[in-house]
Amino acid sequence: MNLDSGRGNRGPASALIAAPIELGGLLLANRLVSAPMAGVSDRAFRRLVRESGAALAFPEMVSDKALLFGNEKTQAMARPYPGEDPFVLQLLGREPDTLAAAARLVVERFGARMVDVNMGCPAPKVVRNGEGAALLRDPSLCAAIIERVSRVVPVPVSCKIRLGWEEPIAARLVKTLAEAGAAFVTVHARLKTDSYSTPADWSALAEVVASSPIPVVGNGDVLRPGDASRLLLETGCQAVMVGRGCLGNPWIFERALRLARTGDPGPPPGPSEVVETALRHLALTAADKGEPRAVLEMRKHGAWYLRGLPGASAVRASLMRARTVAEVTALLRGYLEILPRESGLGGGRFRRD
């Protein structure tokens, strides 16, 4: 196997994304990672993106203190699905001791093979608490956290940062984190003060990668299959993390891999495949969290799955009123039946790219 854990990946364009990699001691089948997304990347979601080819799928962030206080909802969020491997977890917190204790718990109780610390979440209530992106303003606290956490767990410790708060500081911060013991770092190529309407700054990310002593996972604006290889090649990062690009679109991983291997991502999934995958997502969620939660959560996932499909807005509106798995199923299957009449396309080939 051709492993490459170092910097400077400049292999034949685009094939590299499909090549295995060792990331801070974790052996990954390829360089595609799905992002931690609060309220999204639960067990059902992770199963679907892993099946599509993501080598690693981050669960939603969990609060160190909520875990330590035995909060049931948080404990439930922190579990892998049966057979999930590698299973990793991202912690949110600000105190080295509680983060370290929570890290030990997730390794010992849930079998996490890597622990990530969130240093990038810009949500006001998180930042007010001194957590997430607030840590970007205190590099010595970031270092203390990584030192403390990596001392107590026998698995790699990583962190997910942004380019900076309102000024880019990531290049310096990554060196500090590396000295403190971080095995790798994920860099979301935006500042804390940027919104999603600001394009991710891949050239700033490339500068961070160029001076980083540890592997960097690049993140930001990988929205289509071809973006993954472009990010890898334009920045020299070792792996690529996909966030919004896989919402209602687990296919982005298999299509990015197919593009890397054959030069063609293949056609986007047609409406019937989209609907059947949405229904599988619903069934997996219902089995895990119960029917009412699954139906509620399918409001947002369903809207993402249907995005770009013809005549989908009426279905999205009805999804908001559905109460049972049977109702959602009838709604989505009913949509497939009226589709040929509405668009002349049928369950076949139309889909956003």
Ligand X SMILES: Cc1cc2nc3c(=O)[nH]c(=O)nc-3n(C[C@H](O)[C@H](O)[C@H](O)COP(=O)(O)O)c2cc1C
Query: Which residues form the interface with ligand X (CB under 6 A)?
Result: 35-40, 60-61, 90, 118, 120-121, 160, 188, 200, 219-222, 242-245
User: Would you say 244 or 272 has its CB closer to ligand X?
Assistant: 244
Write down the number of H helices and E strands in the chain. Answer: 14, 11
Minimum Å gap between C-beta 90 and ligand X is: 6
The tokens describing 307, both together, are 């995005």
Which of 121, 159, 237, 246 is the catalytic position?
A: 121
User: Would you say 63 or 150 has its CB closer to ligand X?
Assistant: 63
User: Would you say 45 or 350 has its CB closer to ligand X?
Assistant: 45
Residue with tokens 């001194």: 130
Q: How far is CA 118 from CA 60, 224, 326, in A?
A: 10, 25, 38
The DSSP code for 59 is P
Task: Note whether 219 and 196 are within 8 A (CB).
Answer: no
User: Would you say 121 or 182 has its CB closer to ligand X?
Assistant: 121
Minimum Å gap between C-beta 350 and ligand X is: 25
Spatial distance between the Cα atoms of 272 and 265, rounded to a whole number of angstroms: 19
Minimum Å gap between C-beta 224 and ligand X is: 11
Minimum Å gap between C-beta 29 and ligand X is: 20
Task: Note whether 314 and 306 are within 8 A (CB).
Answer: no
Spatial distance between the Cα atoms of 15 and 149, rounded to a whole number of angstroms: 35
User: Would you say 104 or 244 has its CB closer to ligand X?
Assistant: 244
Q: Which of 116, 118, 119, 159 is nearest to 137 (CA)?
A: 119
Minimum Å gap between C-beta 300 and ligand X is: 9
CB atoms within 10 A of CB 129: 15
Query: Is 121 tagged catalytic?
Result: yes
Residue nearest to ligand X (CB): 243
Task: Note whether 338 and 311 are within 8 A (CB).
Answer: yes
The catalytic residue positions are 121
